[in-house]
């Protein structure tokens, strides 16, 4: 624990250092049982999938300039884990941030050009399974089972481009992406709802099982094409075909859902559940990613939502 706190402090992540002593995250032992659980968590794509065409790509995205790249690298906590390439944010910062020698500037430009290719969906197909793959970590859940976390190669610059605009799209029901302090807002709004009730009211807490790994990617790409046209080529290349998840010496194909650990994963999940969250009739309707809290009269909370879930 001391080492983890020191890493947070060395990376100027004060809030992260404070959270470490209270964290209950435990890495699952690397065993045959854990491997089988991870495979179950990553099912194959459903057989009736109908993916959008690659020809739906729009005009090229604005070029990535080195200043944008440097800003994205600077915003990543230093102690963040590295992906399959082993390159941690600390390595990138040491190579780029604050340096102005010719080699550092040349590296920054090369990385900016690579990100530009990724945004335009022009990465060679043979490279995609590795570039868009991830290292897989299994965390033990307090309620039993495991939670897979995929640590990919750095993609945060793409997430930063769309976070603010997309947050407006999915609010007010969804506070899990693009809303600063969304978790706190969800908690305080729930508390305010409960304290303001005088009669008999129902509060329903919903949590989807294996939510991120269960969504259908053809639907995911349809929503991305509709709401995120500026980065749709990138999302298409990343999620159109299976990608490699590396767990020790094993490779698990990621063919369904969004990777937990992908900076864009929460955004894509929120887009997929947007219509559902906005269609529920409960007077109180707040979501934080795959956790939904509904409140109001029994008839409005349970009965219409139960019928909706059966459809």
Output the pLDDT for position 66.
84
Total domain count, the chain: 1
- pTM to 2 decimals? 0.80
Alpha carbons 252 and 43: distance in angstroms, whole number: 10
Residues of the chain with pLDDT under 50: 307, 310-311
Output the pLDDT for position 178.
80
- 310, with CB counted inside 10 A (0-12, 13-18, 19+), is exposed
Write out the two tokens for 111: 């990385």
Quick check: is 19 in a domain? no
Output the pLDDT for position 11.
54
Q: Which long-range contacts does 302-310 make (Cβ < 8 Å, 24+ apart)?
A: 302/202, 302/204, 304/280, 305/204, 305/280, 305/281, 308/276, 308/279, 308/280
Quick check: is 309 in a domain? no
Quick check: is 258 in a domain? yes
Quick check: is 8 in a domain? no
- 76 is in which domain, residue-wise? 31-302
Output the pLDDT for position 156.
64
Quick check: is 308 in a domain? no
Output the pLDDT for position 94.
83
Quick check: is 21 in a domain? no
């Amino acid at each position: 624990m001391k080492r983890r706190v020191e890493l947070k402090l060395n990376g100027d992540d004060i809030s992260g250092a404070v959270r470490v002593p209270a964290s209950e995250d435990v890495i699952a032992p690397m065993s045959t049982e854990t491997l089988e659980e991870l495979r179950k968590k990553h099912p194959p794509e459903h057989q009736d999938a109908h993916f959008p065409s690659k020809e739906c790509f729009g005009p090229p995205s604005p070029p990535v300039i080195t200043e944008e790249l440097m800003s994205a690298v600077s915003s990543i906590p230093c102690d963040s884990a590295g992906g399959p390439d082993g390159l941690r944010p600390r390595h990138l910062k040491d190579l780029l941030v604050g340096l102005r020698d010719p080699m550092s500037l040349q590296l920054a430009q090369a990385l900016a050009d690579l990100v530009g290719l990724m945004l335009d969906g022009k990465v060679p197909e043979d490279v995609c399974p590795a570039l868009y793959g991830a290292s897989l970590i299994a965390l033990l859940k307090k309620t039993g089972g495991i939670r897979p976390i995929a640590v990919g190669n750095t993609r945060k610059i793409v997430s930063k481009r769309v976070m603010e605009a997309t947050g407006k799209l999915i609010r007010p029901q969804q506070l899990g992406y693009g809303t600063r302090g969304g978790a706190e807002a969800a908690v305080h709004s729930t508390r305010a709802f409960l304290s303001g009730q005088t009669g008999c009211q129902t509060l329903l807490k919903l949590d989807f099982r294996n939510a991120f790994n269960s969504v259908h990617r053809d639907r995911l790409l349809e929503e991305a094409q509709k709401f995120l046209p500026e980065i749709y080529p990138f999302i298409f290349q990343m999620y159109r075909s299976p990608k490699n998840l590396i767990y020790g010496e094993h490779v698990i194909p990621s063919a369904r859902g969004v990777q937990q650990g992908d900076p864009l994963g929460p955004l894509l999940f929120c887009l997929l559940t947007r219509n559902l969250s906005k269609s529920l009739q409960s007077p109180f309707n707040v979501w934080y990613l795959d956790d939904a809290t509904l409140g109001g009269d029994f008839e409005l909370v349970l009965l219409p939502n139960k019928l909706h879930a059966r459809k």
